[in-house]
Amino acid sequence: MYHTLDLHFQNYEHAIAAFVIETDDGPVLIESGPYSTFPSLEQGLNNLGYKVGDVKHVLLSHIHFDHAGAAWAFAEKGAKIYLHPFGHDHMHDPSKLVASATMIYGDQMDVLWGEMKGIPKKNLKVMDHDDAIEIGGHSFRALHTPGHAKHHIAWHWKDTIFTGDVAGVKIEGGPVVPPCPPPDINLEDWIHSIDLVLSKNPNRLVLTHYGEEINPNIHMKELKEILSDWGQWIKTKWQEGLNNDEITPLFMKYTEQQLRDRGVSDHGLKQYEAANPSWMSVAGLVRYWKKKQG
């Protein structure tokens, strides 16, 4: 049994989640969300009968702000933060993360993500591929799953895998779509990671964006198809000589129609865009094709 905490990112339901597993050593938190949603996270914990200080273990899928931005607030209370080795230095000193994000988001940084503080090294616990930790009678195994990000971990618990972003974004029964942000989106790695996840034969996938998927093979097949579709669509526009600013509105129109064709409502479109901004996938996939060519 696990609990899903809706973090109500930008006042949207089902855009970003965190998850709680109750153990003999207190609650284990998977994902922290951004610090901007910390009040929702704290309320979710309170609803389960816990305080922030009760959380001694936080498992991060990766270090992007929407998944890890509030981890420092738990570390300040003494929690251990488990993460990929590539994320260690950035979480200890997030100045480069903040600087690069500020170049993108400008004066929206605080509204979107909130404060980001460094985490002492003693609180950071790196997990190599296939490492397992035992917490309060529960085992959590780290699966290195690059593709969306090189510092990505999917967490295997019992017959369930908490997928971070490797299983894409799927909101309220809509279609699955792949978040493809810069700087290290890699389609080949992502396909390999999908196959790795499926090789564990999970009964369910749990997506940070958003919720439970009980047909992993069908879900991942659809993700592979849309990942290829988006990748080839962006490649064609880029090869035609269009720049990111020119591609983005065309891509938004293209993907909006895909979602509408699958029955996604106007409100659903806003939820998808909040969880997976179109411009980010354009930037990531154009960068990917440039690197491939170079």
Among residues of the chain, what percentage have pLDDT more than 90? 93
Rounded-to-integer distance, Cα 70 and Cα 79, Å:
12
Quick check: bond before 178 cis, omega within 30? no
Inside any domain, residue 109: yes
State the average pLDDT for the chain.
Answer: 96
- Scanning 93-186, the segments in alpha helix (DSSP H) are 95-105, 109-112
Rounded-to-integer distance, Cα 153 and Cα 32, Å:
14
Rounded-to-integer distance, Cα 278 and Cα 118, Å:
29
Write out the residue range of the structural domain in which residue 29 sits. Answer: 3-222
Q: Residue 33 to residues 9, 79, 116, 240: CA-CA distances in angstroms? A: 9, 15, 12, 38
Helix 244-261 vs helix 216-239: angle between axes, to the nearest 10 degrees?
150
pLDDT tens, residue by residue, 137-166:
999 999 999 999 999 999 999 999 999 999
- Minimal CA–CA distance to 190: which of 229, 142, 219, 224? 224
Inside any domain, residue 188: yes
Inside any domain, residue 174: yes
Q: What is the CATH number of the domain that holds 20?
A: 3.60.15.10
Inside any domain, residue 157: yes
pTM across the whole model: 0.96
With tokens 């390999």, the residue in question is 192
pLDDT tens, residue by residue, 163-201:
999 999 999 889 999 999 998 999 999 999 999 999 999
CA 196 to chain centre: 17
Question: At a CB cut-off of 8 Å and minimum separation 6, what does 294 contact?
Answer: none
Identify which has the larger pLDDT, 108 or 67. 67
Give the chain's domain count.
1
Inside any domain, residue 233: no
